[in-house]
Structure 1
């Protein structure tokens, strides 16, 4: 199973959503900045390699599906953060944890891509 979702619409929705949420949400600006930096690191050359080297990377389908679900949830989350109002502050810890988990998952993918690139 290739990781087409990284280079496709899902990636762009997440990336654009993060940029928009950063401009509107002061509360999560640091976490969103970290996530944006990770997304910036997934350059197009790396993205193309994902599909080509999925077997060599050793990414199990479960990990790919999990990452895709986290990205889908991330798109929804950054939409919520863009529209965050005072009465939603009860969910701050949960939102922060979701951002951190998505960033970690994308960083793991980036590390695997860099390791594979070094092997080639």
Structure 2
């Protein structure tokens, strides 16, 4: 009897994590769009960050969904947590950028560099994810090979 309760609790936890991930992607996307509409100081950096997020978002969501279906919640949980942390930091950073005035060149350079670093960080996490997927593919090939030989 304990197993169904545990499975239900795990499924609820996974669904909650998936919902939090979706909200985080949505919040940073909204923050970027608002910041781009308020000021043009960081338009290129914000466009780059927005493109990165739009490319990564469906992949992370799909990975999370598959982890839930397969009952493999720990497999990529660390990477998902890192993405969530970066997205929260990114949202705060983007919000700060919208308050920087054009004439404040020092802050403008500082925050543009931070936006570019955020973009690079998300791309690096995406690369880690791709290496993990390649490893999973090789493991699956090995299992299939062992099954049929």
- TM-score, normalised relative to structure 2: 0.58
In the alignment, is residue 47 of structure 1 matched against residue 61 of structure 2?
yes
Q: 1:72 aligns with which of 88, 94, 100?
A: 88
Partner residue, 1:92: 108
Partner residue, 1:21: 35
Structure 1 unaligned spans of 5+: none
- SS of 2:89's equivalent in the other structure is helix
Partner residue, 1:30: 44
Structure 2 distance, partners of 1:6, 1:114, is: 22
Structure 2 unaligned spans of 5+: 1-13, 141-149
- SS of 2:111's equivalent in the other structure is helix
- Highest CA radius of gyration, 1 or 2? 2
Structure 1 distance, partners of 2:101, 2:19, is: 31
Structure 2 distance, partners of 1:46, 1:66, is: 11
Query: CA-atom RMSD, angstroms?
Result: 3.2
Q: 1:111 aligns with which of 115, 127, 135?
A: 127
- TM-score, normalised relative to structure 1: 0.69
CA contact (8 A) 2:56 2:126 kept: yes
Distance 1:6 1:102, change over 3 A: farther
- SS of 1:42's equivalent in the other structure is helix
Partner residue, 1:7: 21
Cα offset for 1:67? 4.5
